[in-house]
Structure 1
Amino acid sequence: MVVNMLKSVLHIYLLTTSVSLICGSKPEILVKTMDDIISDFDYEPYKLVGEKLLYFGQVEVNWFKANDICHTMNGYLTSIENEREMNAITEYLNTNLPNVHSWWVSGNDLASEGNFVWANTGTSMNYSLWSREQPDNYNRGENCVHVCLYDHGYKMNDWECRHESNFICEHEKPIAFSVNVLRK
């Protein structure tokens, strides 16, 4: 995100310099971020789901391989930070992929048993919608989180990282700017 922002600042600087040379005076630049503009762009194979760019990998691989695949696609296994994000993913799955019932996300407790974090941010899983009696660390070997269809809805479950599941990658949303150049 920082690199994208620096590129945008450089483009604005170059625009300012170009306009100064053409107009003979330094223009006033008004810059506004536009969070909603993303829907106008195509980021295949990622889809805009709720407020995130997501890719639903429909091949079953273990958690580590899923994480690697996401990285090769300039993304990462997704985190689900709140109910709104969970609802958006659930709605997308129910509508578009109703026959696929298990999806890796970035949650894990690999570093410290019972302390689940999102791998892509390193932050604690403050929001979770666990299946009944989960997480349970069954056989002391379940350290990765997947979202699975449970009791007619998608819920989170801790599962062995070496098991295979589909996966959800997330791509960082680009920063869009609106630039207005006013001649003095």
Structure 2
Amino acid sequence: MVSSWNCNEMGLIIELCLLGLPTNTDVTTAPFVKIGKGFYYFENTTTKNWFDAFTSCRQMNADLISFETQSEWSLIMDYRRAVKDTNRYWTSGTDLGAEGSHVWFATGKPINLNLWTINNPDNYKNNEHCDELGWRPSKTAEDGMNDCSCSAKLRYICEAPEPQTASFIIW
């Protein structure tokens, strides 16, 4: 049943804007997956260079993933293990601005968590300036970060900002 109101007869209108989604809703966040407090899109079919991956995320109002905390890293790695994901993905990490100073391009903050695989970043052949997740130096090693040629074709993970919920109470 649709109700119609005469705006002139409304008394009090209260607007509420909150971060996140209400728990009692069936709103989908697809294609983003909620992991912890974050919302992530895993591109698992198409591979792109770092610049095209960055553009694809921006077209979704998102950014290539940046790991701001060890907790976020652990949640993403736990999710990948749970779904048996062994892909390599672009992150927003790069040292394009200053060789050897890796930052999260999406935030401008330095990469100061110990996420790198052994002996990385290494700027192999002076041609690795974009950072990937999921590289393994050996079959027994854990996934970690590696600097890679920005022109390599990899999958990518986009990180969306937390959605906002707007509600109106009309008295």
Counterpart-to-counterpart distance in 1, 2:98 and 2:123 = 12
Where do 5+ consecutive residues of structure 2 fail to align?
A: 1-6
Change (3 A) 1:35 1:43: closer
Between stretches 109-118 and 151-160, larger displacement belongs to 151-160
Between stretches 80-89 and 145-154, larger displacement belongs to 145-154
Q: Does 1:144 align with 2:133?
A: no
- Native 8 Å contact 2:43 2:155 kept in 1: yes
- Native 8 Å contact 1:146 1:157 kept in 2: yes
Counterpart-to-counterpart distance in 2, 1:179 and 1:22 = 12
Question: How far has the Cα of 1:149 moved from its partner?
Answer: 4.5
Where 1:153 maps in the other structure, the secondary structure is coil
Q: Deviations over 1:86-113 (max 9, x none)?
A: 1111111112243x33111100010111
TM-score computed with the length of structure 2 as normaliser: 0.80
Question: How far has the Cα of 1:171 moved from its partner?
Answer: 1.3
Between the aligned residues of both structures, percent identity stands at 30
- Native 8 Å contact 1:34 1:178 kept in 2: no
Q: Deviations over 1:63-101 (max 9, x none)?
A: 111111112222221111111111111111112243x33
Residue of structure 2 in register with 1:87 after alignment: 74
TM-score computed with the length of structure 1 as normaliser: 0.74
Change (3 A) 1:95 1:113: same
Matches within 5 A, 1:168-179: 168-176=157-165
Where do 5+ consecutive residues of structure 1 fail to align?
A: 1-17
Corresponding letter in the other structure for 1:119: F
Two-structure CA RMSD over aligned residues (Å) = 2.5
Counterpart-to-counterpart distance in 1, 2:109 and 2:135 = 25
